[in-house]
Structure 1
Amino acid sequence: MSRKFRLEEERAKHLQDEIQEEEDKLKAQKERIFGPIVWKRLPSGIKIMDLQSVNYIQAVNIIMEFFVKKNVIFRNTTRFLEDEDSVTSFRDKLLISMMDRSSIIATKEEEDPDIDEEIVGILLLKAVKKCDYGRVFSRVALNSGKPYASIIKFLNGINRKIDIFEEFQCDSYLRFYLMCIKPEYRGKLLGYQLMSTALNVARHLKISVMMGIFDSWKLQEYAKKLGMQKFFEILYKKYHDDEEELIFCDLGAGNYTCALMAGTIPSFPQPEKLVFKVESVTKPRTRAEKREKYKKNR
């Protein structure tokens, strides 16, 4: 191999390395631009970030596994999991809600970037806009299956009790749609951390009003701490379903009502003004002033 050929080969390799380095930089920039926003990191090693499309199926599976059996409304709906149409309708509704791209998840951080982070909590959020509210799309009949239709009927009956747009004179609001925490992470205020983080999501979206239908006393307490108040609530024991698909007999401790709650989202707290104490500086005396003082003291 001639010396000239070796030099050309080295030059080509060096050029290829430079091209690869530039491609890696562009890839990293794209990942930063299009990657999820990390809203909060907790001391427990859990971070709260945007729900991305790559996590939709995993999030749906977690909800189907842990939410349906735990939630007050779903677990009191007869034959829901046995009804294929109801399960399919609910899964489709979940995917449509996730496509709003407002939802957030809690994941367990891993030091190794090659290990997929475990989703431990999900909060589905939906930005509801007045201009879209009356469209047919928002009321598409995805509710096939009697058990799921009974749930939608119950929730819609509560939702229609107040016009959020009229009550708060707003053009949009952020709705708390559904929250699911894995069993081993419950009782650690992760639900409250997700709900409080949703306020930052609303601020990011320039939304000043929030609402939700909360079916347990714990969620109602969290909502109250965030500044929401009850506008309507229904006693479970007084609810009667004509179809006999939704019968509340397994409520759980402390769960007596399902409440529609709403409130305004406080703006970011203003930073405190820094007050600097300016200390007086003694001006050095001149030689003439020193001599004058010396004469006076003699």
Structure 2
Amino acid sequence: MDNKTRRESTFAHKKQMEAPLTWEAPPYCEIIDLKENYYEEVLRLIKHHYLKEDPMCRSVNLLKDHESKQQYLDLIKIWMKDSTSLIAISKSSGRVIGTIIARINSLLDKTNTYSRVQIFQGKALELIMSLKSALVLQADAYSLFEVDKYLRIYILCVHPSYENNDLGAELLFSSYQVAMSLQLVAIAGIFTSAKNQKTASRVGFKKVTEIKYSTWIVNEEIVFNNSGIGNYSAAFMGKITPDENCQEEILESRRRFWEQEEENKKKHKTKNRNNCGNFLYVTTFHRKTDFFSSDYVLSGMTPPKHFRCDAIQ
């Protein structure tokens, strides 16, 4: 092998090593490891959606506290470098539509972020981290799972356009694939909204402990008093990862689910002209409700007031 061929081979090997791993994903997206070239796009997604919509961030007006906002984003960027985070990329647009920021927490690691609340600058961030620190201590995950390290989820963020596509659940599922690949027997995280708590429950996470927002009082004031409808607590949730014997069975079940979903879409999605003026009547099957829903597209008229969707028999 001459020098030129050797260099080309070395370069190709390096590129292959640097390429992100691809995880099992639904047909509309790819789920891959988060690499540095996506950091800025992921930070924008988090800034525009997570920091804006998260119950704790919203309650303390974190986006209006420039010092807190910037330090939180800097902290998230540090978490990203642990190479255990994931992103979902839309196959149609190529844009990042979701992310899960995770890192390994070790009992021997004395630099645990939430044990150093006092180093944070910015009042809003300090208020958030103080509650999360209390939750971590309360949960005592190392004793609970009888481990010296586990995969910790720090942020789960999905673009609003994909919240009804179970993308949050898909990212969580892929994260415990990551945990299994790293031979970690447990995965856990703090979920601050009812929506994310429900999503975590659906993929097998159990609530270990929680703190009600109404009970977190500083200087005789409830700190998180604007958490939004239905968001009553921050919860530490976790689960034991499946053993190797179960892993392939779970993946195969997941693939069959996606295949069935695609078949349902092809079978039930029809487009035809209805008798209601110029409406284009679209019937689409929704797996969550097992109902047909009707959308009226671009007509300049309003849809009929009385329309009943028939359940699938």
Match of 1:35 among 19, 38, 46: 19
Match of 2:40 among 57, 78, 82: 57
Q: Which residue of 2 aligns with 1:11?
A: none
Residue 158 of structure 2 corresponds to residue 176 of structure 1? no
Give, as a single letter, the amino acid of the residue that structure 1 aligns with 2:32: M
Residue 84 of structure 2 corresponds to residue 102 of structure 1? yes
Alpha-carbon contact 1:76-1:246 (below 8 Å) kept: yes
d(CA) in 2 for partners of 1:154, 1:92: 20
Match of 1:263 among 236, 239, 248: 239
Match of 1:153 among 121, 130, 137: 130
Using a 3 Å threshold, how does the CA distance of structure 1 residues 271 and 206 change in structure 2: closer, same or farther? closer
Q: Which moved more, 1:136-145 or 1:50-59?
A: 136-145
Residue 178 of structure 2 corresponds to residue 195 of structure 1? no
Give, as a single letter, the amino acid of the residue that structure 2 aligns with 1:238: T
Once superposed, what is the RMSD of the aligned Cα atoms?
A: 2.5
Displacement after TM superposition at 1:125 (Å): 0.5
Displacement after TM superposition at 1:20 (Å): 6.8
Q: Deviations for 1:186-212, whole angstroms, at most 9, x for unmatched residues?
A: 211000000000011001111001111
Residue 67 of structure 2 corresponds to residue 85 of structure 1? yes
Alpha-carbon contact 1:89-1:142 (below 8 Å) kept: no
The structure with more radius of gyration: 1
Secondary structure at 2:238 match in 1: strand
Alpha-carbon contact 2:191-2:234 (below 8 Å) kept: yes
Alpha-carbon contact 2:104-2:150 (below 8 Å) kept: yes
d(CA) in 1 for partners of 2:112, 2:133: 15
Alpha-carbon contact 1:216-1:258 (below 8 Å) kept: yes
d(CA) in 1 for partners of 2:4, 2:143: 57
Match of 2:141 among 164, 168, 173: 164
d(CA) in 1 for partners of 2:211, 2:64: 27
Alpha-carbon contact 2:213-2:223 (below 8 Å) kept: no
Secondary structure at 2:174 match in 1: helix
- Higher fraction of strand: 2
Secondary structure at 2:126 match in 1: helix
Residue 58 of structure 2 corresponds to residue 75 of structure 1? yes
Using a 3 Å threshold, how does the CA distance of structure 1 residues 271 and 226 change in structure 2: closer, same or farther? closer
Using a 3 Å threshold, how does the CA distance of structure 1 residues 138 and 251 change in structure 2: closer, same or farther? closer
Residue 195 of structure 2 corresponds to residue 218 of structure 1? yes
Identity of aligned residues (%): 26
Q: Deviations for 1:204-226, whole angstroms, at most 9, x for unmatched residues?
A: 11100111111122222222233
Match of 1:119 among 78, 96, 103: 96
Alpha-carbon contact 2:114-2:129 (below 8 Å) kept: no
* Match runs of 1:278-293 below 5 Å: none
Alpha-carbon contact 1:151-1:246 (below 8 Å) kept: no
TM-score using structure 2 length: 0.71
Give, as a single letter, the amino acid of the residue that structure 2 aligns with 1:105: I
d(CA) in 2 for partners of 1:67, 1:142: 23
Displacement after TM superposition at 1:33 (Å): 2.1
Q: Which residue of 1 aligns with 2:212?
A: 235
Alpha-carbon contact 1:147-1:245 (below 8 Å) kept: no
- Which one scores higher on RCO, CA 8 angstroms, separation ≥ 6? 1
Q: Deviations for 1:135-176, whole angstroms, at most 9, x for unmatched residues?
A: 477745551011111111111121110211112211111111
Displacement after TM superposition at 1:82 (Å): 2.1
The number of residues matched between the two structures is: 246
Displacement after TM superposition at 1:238 (Å): 2.9
